Amino acid sequence: MVELCAGGAPGVSRFGGMVDITHSVLRELDEPFDLTQEQVTFFKENGFIKLKQVLSPDLLTYMDQTITREVHRLNTQHLPLEQRDTYGKAFLQIMNIWVYSPSVREIVFSERLAKLATDLLEVEGVRLYHDQALYKEPGGGITPWHADQYYWPLASDRTVTVWIPLQATPMELGPLEFSAGSFGLQTGRDLQIGDESQQKLQDALKSGGYRHVVEPFELGEVSFHLGWTFHRAGANKTDRMRKVMTMIYMDKDMRLKSPENQNQIEDWSRWLPGSLIGESIHSASNPLLFEY
């Protein structure tokens, strides 16, 4: 279920003149992809899951061309890599692209992906927090250990991010890595992403005995991880861009909590406009994407 909100109206054409793509391929965006109980249990225990063949090669070609066009158009980072800090070297980061592009909006509003998020979180439906493209440039550095929910003024842990590589992602391109079960770790929840989080969390996760999962991603394979699951990514050691699209989902009944750091104050203003502390989030910027 998609509520009408800013960024484009229902019925906007899916076609941007970029590739010759059929309606049958684009229907994938809304067709269900069913999970097994074993997969739901794995996610519940580990705080992440990788799922193969969620998206077809043809659909990924369309997504790549559509999203990459907007990344190039909206990117404002032009400093050479060597002049950036660790976070700046990790990737080009373009957020809430759906607001600027009806074609990207249709990708972000995919019922297939939103239903997967709903089923993994074991809730009745999900809203969008925001989307973001994460493009790791050739020679781009590591993405340090961190947990996303440090940045979010959200009252519960029913949040999940889908990580969608727009190409096959071997080890040398810097695939996403996970610390299995680490969503229960309290240490490091006050650390924003950077050199300090990399070192302190690397030590805490190792001493805590959490399993480090680092594997390539096949074409069409995507991952989901909880907001409090600690994760990182390696450097891009190739001469190619590592192109990734992400969407962050939250329980449809998520409430706004009182912010605990400056980043959460900024996120409240940027992604949750008009929402009130203690109340359910129903902002037009946070559309309902799926509901049973």
Query: Residue holding tokens 């790549």?
Result: 64
Closest CA to 18 of 57, 55, 61, 56: 61
Query: Residue holding tokens 């096949």?
Result: 218
C-beta of residue 186 within 8 angstroms of C-beta of residue 228: no
What is the pLDDT at residue 203? Answer: 94
Closest CA to 249 of 113, 50, 72, 53: 113
CA distances from 183 to 22, 43, 53, 159 (A): 40, 11, 26, 11
DSSP 158: -
pLDDT at 102 over 60: yes
How far apart CA 284 and CA 26 sit, in angstroms, is 25
pLDDT at 78 over 80: no
* pTM greater than the 0.95 cutoff: no
Q: pLDDT tier at 12 (50, 70, 90 boundaries)?
A: very low
Helix and strand tally (H, E) in the chain? 8, 11
Provide the 3-class DSSP secondary structure of residue 234.
Answer: coil
Query: Residue holding tokens 């502390």?
Result: 277
C-beta of residue 78 within 8 angstroms of C-beta of residue 88: no
What is the pLDDT at residue 75? Answer: 85
Helix axes 111-121, 37-46, angle to 10 degrees: 70
pLDDT at 249 over 60: yes
Share of the chain above pLDDT 90, in %: 83
The string of DSSP codes covering 86-118 is HHHHH-EEEE-GGGT-HHHHHHHT-HHHHHHHH
Query: Across residues 253-279, what is the average pLDDT?
Result: 97
What is the pLDDT at residue 155? Answer: 98
Q: pLDDT tier at 171 (50, 70, 90 boundaries)?
A: very high
pLDDT at 15 over 50: no
User: 126-167, pLDDT tens digit by residue?
Assistant: 999 999 999 999 999 999 999 999 999 999 999 999 999 999
What is the pLDDT at residue 5? Answer: 35
CA distances from 249 to 91, 137, 143, 153 (A): 21, 26, 21, 14
Q: What residue ranges define each of the domains in the chain, with the CATH number in brackets?
A: 27-284 (2.60.120.620)
pLDDT at 4 over 50: no
Buried b (16+ CB within 10 A) or exposed e, 147-157: bbbbbbbbbeb
What is the pLDDT at residue 18? Answer: 46
Closest CA to 185 of 136, 149, 221: 149
What is the pLDDT at residue 213? Answer: 98
What's the angle, vertex CA 265, arms to CA 250 and CA 92, rounded to 5? 70
Q: What's the mean per-residue pLDDT of the chain? A: 90
Closest CA to 86 of 206, 232, 204, 226: 232
Query: Across residues 19-42, what is the average pLDDT?
Result: 86
pLDDT at 220 over 90: yes
